[in-house]
Amino acid sequence: MVYEQDIRLIKMTEVVKKTGMSRSTVYSLISHGLFPQQVSLGPRSVAFVEAEIDSWIRNKIAIRNRCNANRYTD
């Protein structure tokens, strides 16, 4: 759960660094509903909720781990 004092907004540059994906890949995933949406900060400025990006990354790791576990049990 994210509490008010824990919320940190990060810019696209940091999202790209955290995920290792390009800007265009991030925007493509957003448009397909597969990545957290950005928050508008103004007419020409957006940011992302860091906790949502971190959660997305943890989810990707969990999916990988489940797939690897299934591979070794089959």
Coil, helix or strand at residue 47: strand
Q: Give the residue numbers spanning the domain of 26.
A: 4-73
Coil, helix or strand at residue 13: helix
Domain count along the chain? 1
pLDDT for the residue numbered 74: 56
pLDDT for the residue numbered 4: 64
Q: What residue type is 15 in one-letter code?
A: V
pLDDT for the residue numbered 69: 75
Low pLDDT (below 70) residues in the chain:
1-5, 71-74
